[in-house]
Chains A and B, each alone.
Chain A
Amino acid sequence: MAVVRTQKEIRQRAPWWFVGLLVLQLGLMAYDARDGVTKQRMIRVWAQALISPFQRAASSAGTAGSSALGYIKDMRNAAAENQQLKARVEQMEAELSQLRASRDENERLKALLDFKEKIEYQSVAARVIARDPSAWFDAVTINRGSSDGIELNMPVVTPGGIVGRVVTLSPWTAQVMLITDERAAAGAVVGQLGQSNALGSVKGLGENGLLQMHHVPGLEEVNAGDYVITTGQDGIYPPGLSVGEVVEVKKGTATVPHTIYIKPGARLNALSEVAVLLYHPPQAAAPDQVLPNVEKKKL
């Protein structure tokens, strides 16, 4: 069906047709025409000339975008790599610290083992699992109890020296009162047992981590740096265990005993592994309760 257009419509559309036809013809001419020198079709030349600014802009934008993307990608990669390296360093540091801790623990356990072999008493190795929850006392809790053969008042030691005695017992744990506690004490001697007469009793001072030794005759020669060992007279600690080192002596006289301050040999602030000596002090012979007269009557 033919479309019927009015004259007015045709007049209105004519310029558009005209321009369109011109463009088409120009296009045809350009397609047909060739450059005199290069023999290229002119349409290519024009097309390239027309498109080149956009191409350049697009190319620049693309390059910039690509380099930006590349930069971002690199940054992301670098960030990821950085994270990985950081994680690896952290892991290695953790491993290193674990290895160091293991080495330290190994050394401590070796020392404890050597100590166990050296001493003549049976012992149970234990680990400190807790300390006194009160800020005013300093007892420690170990991971061995009555099921391991531990009994009340058994001495607890480290290779450095005595630690304290067992004061509370459960089947799997035991609480140890440290020798630095004001309520703790031990019989001790300055110097070699059997050679020195500087006998006395060592008592905890509590506050500064030192021990105080009383009752040492003022005429005995005692100096800072001397070693103090247990005598075994207290009925808790066996004789010959190290207590610590004399750090200060307040000299006594013939009638006034020395006051001696001792630094404990065991590192009581950093206790980790200890040994509980399964030691039963020798029982004192029971005094004869039977009166001579009664014996006589019986006879």
Chain B
Amino acid sequence: MRQLKIALVLAVAVILQSTLRVVWPPFVYLDLPLIVVVYFALQRDALQALLIGAIAGLATDALSSGLLGAGSFSKTLVAYLVVSLVTRVMIDNPLARIPVLAGASLLDDTVYVLLHRMLGQPTNFPFVERASFKLIGTTVVGTVILYLLDALFSERARQRRQLAFRRRIARRGIVRLGRRK
């Protein structure tokens, strides 16, 4: 059931990514598949995150006129780095997710464009301008979408939040005891 939900979310993200741009061109600055990849990478399941990164990237590449595999490469890399980060640092706070999303967007674009340049494939737009707009759009909308995804796949997120909350309470208790002394 969970796998089916993940597949549906991915499919919706990829389809919306290509169709929303027809409705309103500024939607190009929103990378929905990347947001989904970052979300699942934040769940600390490395294998799942890598697979989702690869599949989301490949699906996007298949519909794009860019190099087949470039998006997959960049998204898999992003998924791996985010998983590596969250296994070392606690990033369950919604505020802490913002820099992760921003970094993921920038890294994804950099790797994607670099791969194309390395293989002699010109991209159509100036890097700094487009990557900046994409970073802003993906981070702002992505923060909201991460909430929605949390609600959709809530069980584990809820458990983790509870654990984080308990840890915080425990830590505060120790500090207060220390002050009393």
Q: Are A134 and B66 in contact (CB under 8 A)?
A: yes
Are A181 and B124 CB-contacts (below 8 A) given A128-B22, A135-B29, A175-B65?
Answer: yes
The yes or no answer to B28 lying at the interface (CB within 8 A) is yes
Q: Are B64 and A137 in contact (CB under 8 A)?
A: yes
Q: Are B22 and A129 in contact (CB under 8 A)?
A: yes
Q: Are B122 and A183 in contact (CB under 8 A)?
A: yes
Specify which of A129, A134, A207 is in contact with B64 (CB 8 Å cutoff).
Answer: A134
Name the residue of chain A whose CB is nearest to the CB of B131.
A135
Residues 188 to 211 of chain A near chain B (Cβ within 8 Å): 204, 206-207
Q: Are A130 and B19 in contact (CB under 8 A)?
A: yes
The yes or no answer to B60 lying at the interface (CB within 8 A) is yes
The yes or no answer to B178 lying at the interface (CB within 8 A) is no
**Is chain A's interface secondary structure helix, strand, loop, or mixed overall?**
loop
Are A135 and B31 CB-contacts (below 8 A) given A128-B22, A130-B19, A183-B122?
Answer: yes
The yes or no answer to A182 lying at the interface (CB within 8 A) is yes
Are A181 and B125 CB-contacts (below 8 A) given A133-B14, A133-B17?
Answer: no
Cα separation A80 to B66 with both chains bound (whole Å)? 54
Q: Are B19 and A129 in contact (CB under 8 A)?
A: yes
- In the assembled complex, the CB of A98 is this many whole angstroms from the nearest CB of chain B, namely 15
Q: Are A133 and B63 in contact (CB under 8 A)?
A: yes
- In the assembled complex, the CB of B47 is this many whole angstroms from the nearest CB of chain A, namely 25
Name the residue of chain B whose CB is nearest to the CB of A131.
B21
Name the residue of chain A whose CB is nearest to the CB of B125.
A207
Specify which of B19, B21, B65 is in contact with A167 (CB 8 Å cutoff).
Answer: B65
Name the residue of chain B whose CB is nearest to the CB of A168.
B65
* Interface size, B (range): 20 to 34
- Residues 47-66 of B, flagged 1 when their CB comes within 8 A of A and 0 if not, give 00000000000001101111
Q: Are B22 and A206 in contact (CB under 8 A)?
A: no
Q: Are B18 and A132 in contact (CB under 8 A)?
A: yes
- In the assembled complex, the CB of A185 is this many whole angstroms from the nearest CB of chain B, namely 12
Q: Which chain B positions have C-beta within 8 A of A229? A: none
Cα separation A181 to B122 with both chains bound (whole Å)? 9
Are A207 and B126 CB-contacts (below 8 A) given A133-B14, A136-B113?
Answer: yes
The yes or no answer to B173 lying at the interface (CB within 8 A) is no
Q: Are A137 and B123 in contact (CB under 8 A)?
A: yes
Q: Are A139 and B25 in contact (CB under 8 A)?
A: no
- In the assembled complex, the CB of A293 is this many whole angstroms from the nearest CB of chain B, namely 42
Of B17, B65, B121, the most chain A CB neighbours within 10 A belong to B65
Cα separation A259 to B158 with both chains bound (whole Å)? 62
Q: Which chain A positions have C-beta within 8 A of B63? A: 130, 132-133, 141
The yes or no answer to B80 lying at the interface (CB within 8 A) is no
Q: Which chain B positions have C-beta within 8 A of A231? A: none
The yes or no answer to A6 lying at the interface (CB within 8 A) is no
Q: Which chain B positions have C-beta within 8 A of A273? A: none
Q: Which chain B positions have C-beta within 8 A of A128? A: 22
The yes or no answer to A154 lying at the interface (CB within 8 A) is no
- In the assembled complex, the CB of B54 is this many whole angstroms from the nearest CB of chain A, namely 16
The yes or no answer to A138 lying at the interface (CB within 8 A) is yes
The yes or no answer to B166 lying at the interface (CB within 8 A) is no
Name the residue of chain A whose CB is nearest to the CB of B122.
A182
- In the assembled complex, the CB of B180 is this many whole angstroms from the nearest CB of chain A, namely 56
Q: Are A131 and B22 in contact (CB under 8 A)?
A: yes
Q: Which chain A positions have C-beta within 8 A of B142? A: none
Can you list 26 contacts pairing A with B, beta carbon distance less than 8 Å? A128-B22, A131-B18, A131-B22, A133-B18, A133-B21, A133-B60, A133-B63, A133-B64, A134-B61, A134-B64, A134-B112, A135-B134, A136-B109, A136-B124, A137-B64, A137-B65, A137-B66, A137-B123, A138-B124, A141-B18, A141-B63, A168-B65, A181-B65, A206-B124, A206-B125, A269-B25
* Residues of A participating in the B interface, judged by any CB pair closer than 8 Å: 128-139, 141, 167-168, 175, 177, 180-183, 204, 206-207, 269
